[in-house]
Amino acid sequence: MNKDEQNKIPVLVSVASEQEPLTVEGELTQNLDGFALEFKLGGDSFTVLHAEKATQIKADGVMAYDITLSDEKTSTLLATPYGKIRFDVITVERRVTSTNDGFKILLAYELNNDAAGKIARAVDVTVHKNI
């Protein structure tokens, strides 16, 4: 077992959606500047890398993207039915708050492209450490 595997903490991850919230098992790795959270929803794998200056959201599977949220404007390349399209990413909210048994991640951002316009997105994730 390597050092990274030893530092992984099993957690329950609740992801809010338009329907019912989904709760799945995940793994949390904490470090001095933040954390890495890994979990799967259906056939997609997600990683949230959070630090003081930026939060990165990665998805692999049916959905595939890598979005960085920070105080500065960033960009991402998203796969669409029409091919890959570059979007500017504007961070609206990037907040992590403590809860009784873990923490809550609130992320909101806009994807902007001249052809597609603005697309608002929000991510609401609760991490439960006591499982």
Q: In the predicted model, is pLDDT for residue 118 greater than 60?
A: yes
* Structure confidence by residue, pLDDT tens digits, 59-116: 988 778 899 999 998 999 987 667 788 999 999 999 999 999 999 999 999 999 998 8
State how far the Cα of 111 lies from the Cα of 103, in Å rounded to an integer.
Answer: 26
CA distance 5 to 86: 34
Residue 38 makes CB contacts below 8 A (sequence gap 6+) with 26, 27, 28, 29, 45, 46, 47
Q: Helix or strand or coil: residue 6?
A: helix
pLDDT for residue 4 is more than 80? no
Give the helix/strand (H/E) hosting 85.
strand 83-99
pLDDT for the residue numbered 130: 76
Sequence-ordered strand ranges (E) for 4-64:
8-15, 22-30, 34-41, 44-51, 54-60
What is d(CA 116, CA 94) in angstroms, rounded to the nearest whole number?
Answer: 24
Please, which pLDDT band fits residue 43 given cuts at 50, 70 and 90? confident
Least Cα distance to 66 among 79, 55, 76, 54 occurs for 76
Contact criterion met (CB below 8 Å) for 82 and 89 = no
Per-residue pLDDT tens over the stretch 21-32: 789 999 999 988
Q: Is the pLDDT reported for residue 18 higher than 70?
A: no
Global pTM?
A: 0.88
Confidence of residue 1 (pLDDT cuts 50, 70, 90): very low
Mean pLDDT of 41-62: 92
Per-residue pLDDT, 15 = 93
